[in-house]
Structure 1
Amino acid sequence: MKLSTLTRIGLLTCVGAALPSLFGCLDHPLKPVEYDKAQEEQETVDLAVNKDVDILFVIDNSGSMGEEQGTLAANFSKFIEVLERPKVKANYRIGVTTTDNGNPQCNGTTPEGGKLRLTSCRSRESEFTFTGTNPQTVKFDEACASVCPDTLANLDTIPTSTEDDPEPKSRAWIESIEGKTNLPDGVSTTQAFQCFGPQGINGCGFESQLESMWKSLQLMEVSGSPNFGFRRKNAILSVVIVTDEADCSLDPDYGTIFDPNGNRVFWSDPNSNFPTSAVCWNAGVKCEGGPGTYTSCDPVNKDVDGNEGVPDDQAVLFPLSKYIDLLQTIENDKQSRVPG
């Protein structure tokens, strides 16, 4: 897993806003590397190439994501083509969760809280209706029916075992190991993702991309969780966040920042009846310059009164260090293992 600095701002440029570009990048040809060598004695060195990769998709299921989910599903074949190229032949697992981790303003949703979710979008038509607009926004045809046939409405995985659980069970992820999938005969991994990937648009509009990722990775170590056993000890870990909003990973101890009876310090309009997603941006980002165009924006800890640079335990949004530390711990553990 390659680890780069995470920022809440960086999420705005993730897959949700640039899916065609993402998959276009995957079409670049592999370039051979030429070496010059000089040696007196011929030696043979065996290199172990790690082809195992575990891919976690954290997909935004809020009201504005219908088009993006449909685009992701429609273009997913390009992603799979890269994994299955003769020169790659990856042994991969693909799991999906949502950005819904709950929020004081989202009492009507059913948060996944990082749990892997593997049900056909054809069986969840009601989830592709967003009632927060007038008229209602309906995206079932665009995000699901256009890419997932009705014949796959009850699609499920066939039982397999894992490193941690030798008993064959239907798992909450797609996998292809040495060319063998955990899908019914005649169903490709691309077809499966086109049905499993679309998550609907009735999730919480205050998206917790980072906290959902964190919880999902933690649940992979919890026996009885649908996530258990997904992450293999020696596999490369990749996390793909598909979203069109800034992160809003709220520390529940500070839920009052959304309360109309609170101080409204992060509200874009303190006179409004309801908070907007601007609360999430204002509570976790500091920008220089402006108004209008800003010269820079960076993540920052803020307390309930808007004070900046406070200790992690006073930050209303969970600090980025929480997520960086987890990913770095996973990376360090993988690097300490000897292949073979």
Structure 2
Amino acid sequence: MLRRSFAALVLCALAGCQDYNFNPVGKCVIQPGSSRIKLSSLAVADILFVVDDSGSMSSEQASMARNFGSFVSALAQAQKDRQAAGLDPFDFHVAITTSSVFEGWTPYQATTCGGTPLQCAISDSHYTRTASSEVCTEAGATCEDLVENFFPSFSVAGCTGGVASPGATYPHGNFVAAAGNPSVLHFTKDIWDTTSSTAAAKLDLLTKQFQANIAVGTCGSGMEQHFEAGRLAVEKALAGKQPGVTADEWPHAGAKLVVVWLGDEDDCSNPDDPTHALAFDPNNFGSSTPGSDVCVNDQRAATHKMYALDRYVSYFTSLNRSFGAAFIYSADQKTCVDDGNGNRVCKAGTCTCDCPASCLASGGCGPGKTGECNVPSDCSGKIPFLSDAPADVVGTTPYGSRYATFSGLLRRQGVSTFEASVCDANWGATLQGIAQLVKPPPGLTLPTQPAATEVALLRVESADGKSSRYCTGPALTQADLATFDWWFVDCKTGQPVLGGSTSNCININHATKHCEAGAGESYIAQYLGVVPSPTPANPLGGCDPTKVLAGGASTDCQASMGGAATDWQCTPIGTSGRGTCTCASAQ
């Protein structure tokens, strides 16, 4: 039925009809809309590393720097694979920012400073005391500002400067780099020429510059705002407001965006506003550690000051560009165990510390074992309890983090994500995993999935748009692969999607030499999209083929399109597990 209905509507699709609808008289009316997309065979990726620069991060930064060669090697192999497939090498461009946006503090005394009344009132809440007006941060305030935006004097024990300098403002989303290095590192196509000594020298220089830039130091804010820092960095770059970065450096038009978040404490993004921000209490209500407990308490409270994760899901998925995200973070606090001697210590492979592999293999560390593996008491509080996280986001355990939850929410939107632990012994494997996010798919990528192969057309259009040549495809059988110009492939594996199924990714058969876009030419794809069309509530679009009644009537289509379930059927369309709504055969 699907073949008959859609094949009859190709001309309607090319004429630009609208989406399916259900008319008032109770009949399923097919009015499929079409997508006309200009595609590019060029591949570019913009990569942003958001690195925790708080006091506990020196070993993680060193591990990232030390193993960056694994990242480069994985992408070098991807370049070879593309060359073997007749595709051009791809560029990628790397920028770094830190998790330091601001740090909120309450005054040391509730209502006075040295006996002098404060210029604003202080109110109590479930996490700490905060200001009730902004006057506290104005020039001339009688007590310290409630919101600090600058690096300390570096007199703090264990604080290493890295890319920062004492008294400088926090990056607040600005790109950072070591002295003398560019803030955007350009890994361009020419560096992958294995026969050129010049290319090898350039690649070596870029690798060393990254290793220096990623060592951002440990003098940053203890209120790690990983996600807000990433959002600010991209927002500034898109607006052309990254200091020292030209409009054509980062980001690039049509490029894939990959953001890598690295931190050993959970995200604590909250408003940079003294009347609404979270604030550390120097005394922390009698506790000796003013660290991230305030963020954990906010997460557990009935109302929150931290930004909801929807803020970041919405932002990064609405940029109108391909997006991937990697999360490298620590495990929950229950894996920091007491060794019986009053020490909080690492349990193998789960908590962040500088343990050697031999110690981790022994099942724990402490006095009488290996002293270097002691973990301070502030190991607690790194990962809050997520009472409201969806089960499919955090899995079967009640513990997770905003890192883990954000990753899960992005996957719900069809975003490819990668997760790893800061405690993993093999950071080379972690960086290879990130490289898989960076490398482009083996061909062309469509923004949405076609509803059927019968209505998918691919052509090469001249620069002036006046002439075209149509490409033969898509291939439907294994035998077709030898002679057809193109076919759908699984976006993750690159394997052909045959048998009438579709996907968002297209492979060009360069062997036929008939579907090659030359200089100034463009690939144009025309196809019918899935029904219903993608929405924020249904990001993949289409329907769930499992939600059917006896006889194949679709309850999912009924819910989104109206009418009765028996008016609709949901036909599977490919590897995504989704289908498209079509009128039932009786219509």
- Distance in 1 between the 2:98 and 2:235 partners? 15
Residue of structure 2 in register with 1:15 after alignment = none
Q: 1:70 to 1:273 in 2, by over 3 A?
A: closer
Which residue of 170, 181, 188 corresponds with 1:111? 170
Matched, 1:220 2:209: no
Q: Which has the larger radius of gyration?
A: 2
Q: Is the 8 A contact 2:100 2:225 kept in 1?
A: yes
Report 1:84-163 matches (<5 A): 84-85=76-77, 86-88=80-82, 89-105=89-105, 107=148, 108-109=150-151, 110-120=169-179, 154=180, 156-157=181-182
Which residue of 279, 287, 312 corresponds with 1:258? 279
Residue of structure 2 in register with 1:178 after alignment = 189
Q: Offset at 1:243?
A: 0.5
Matched, 1:323 2:312: yes
Q: Is the 8 A contact 1:260 1:273 kept in 2?
A: no
Which residue of 257, 275, 279 corresponds with 2:294? 279
Report SS of the residue matched to 1:114: coil
- Distance in 2 between the 1:80 and 1:200 partners? 23
Q: Is the 8 A contact 2:51 2:263 kept in 1?
A: yes
- Distance in 2 between the 1:207 and 1:281 partners? 12
Report SS of the residue matched to 1:220: helix
Aligned length: 213
Q: 1:339 to 1:211 in 2, by over 3 A?
A: farther
- Distance in 2 between the 1:224 and 1:258 partners? 28
- Distance in 2 between the 1:256 and 1:56 partners? 26
- Distance in 1 between the 2:215 and 2:266 partners? 20
Q: Offset at 1:249?
A: 0.7
Report 1:160-239 matches (<5 A): 172-180=183-191, 187-226=204-243, 227=245, 228-229=247-248, 230-239=250-259
Q: Offset at 1:223?
A: 2.9
2:285 partner amino acid: P
Q: 1:82 to 1:333 in 2, by over 3 A?
A: closer
Q: Give structure 1 stretches of 5+ with no counterpart.
A: 1-46, 121-153, 158-171, 262-266, 287-305, 309-314
- Distance in 2 between the 1:225 and 1:184 partners? 29
Structure 2 length-normalised TM: 0.33
Q: Offset at 1:50?
A: 4.7
Higher RCO structure, 1 or 2 (CA under 8 Å, sep 6+):
1
Measured against aligned partners, the alpha-carbon deviations of 1:205-230 in whole angstroms (never above 9, x if no partner) come to 11000000010010012234235441
Q: Is the 8 A contact 1:91 1:179 kept in 2?
A: no
Q: Is the 8 A contact 2:280 2:294 kept in 1?
A: no
Residue of structure 1 in register with 2:56 after alignment = 64
- Distance in 2 between the 1:238 and 1:257 partners? 29
Measured against aligned partners, the alpha-carbon deviations of 1:163-199 in whole angstroms (never above 9, x if no partner) come to xxxxxxxxx2001221259x99654321221111110
Q: Offset at 1:279?
A: 1.2
- Distance in 2 between the 1:249 and 1:339 partners? 41
Structure 1 length-normalised TM: 0.55
- Distance in 2 between the 1:57 and 1:188 partners? 19
Residue of structure 2 in register with 1:248 after alignment = 268
Which residue of 63, 66, 73 corresponds with 2:65? 73
Q: Is the 8 A contact 1:84 1:90 kept in 2?
A: no
More displaced, 221-230 or 200-209? Answer: 221-230
1:64 partner amino acid: S
Q: Is the 8 A contact 1:61 1:100 kept in 2?
A: yes
- Distance in 2 between the 1:245 and 1:215 partners? 20
Report SS of the residue matched to 1:84: helix
Q: 1:274 to 1:57 in 2, by over 3 A?
A: same
Q: Give structure 2 stretches of 5+ with no counterpart.
A: 1-38, 83-88, 106-146, 152-168, 193-198, 324-445, 449-521, 525-587
Q: 1:233 to 1:94 in 2, by over 3 A?
A: same
RMSD: 3.2
- Distance in 2 between the 1:184 and 1:119 partners? 22
Q: Is the 8 A contact 1:98 1:212 kept in 2?
A: yes
- Distance in 1 between the 2:237 and 2:318 partners? 15
- Distance in 1 between the 2:322 and 2:187 partners? 24
Report SS of the residue matched to 1:188: helix
Residue of structure 1 in register with 2:139 after alignment = none
Q: Is the 8 A contact 2:104 2:278 kept in 1?
A: no
2:306 partner amino acid: L
- Distance in 1 between the 2:41 and 2:277 partners? 50
Q: 1:339 to 1:248 in 2, by over 3 A?
A: farther
Q: Is the 8 A contact 1:260 1:274 kept in 2?
A: no
Measured against aligned partners, the alpha-carbon deviations of 1:283-334 in whole angstroms (never above 9, x if no partner) come to 12x4xxxxxxxxxxxxxxxxxxx434xxxxxx41111111111111114688
2:101 partner amino acid: N
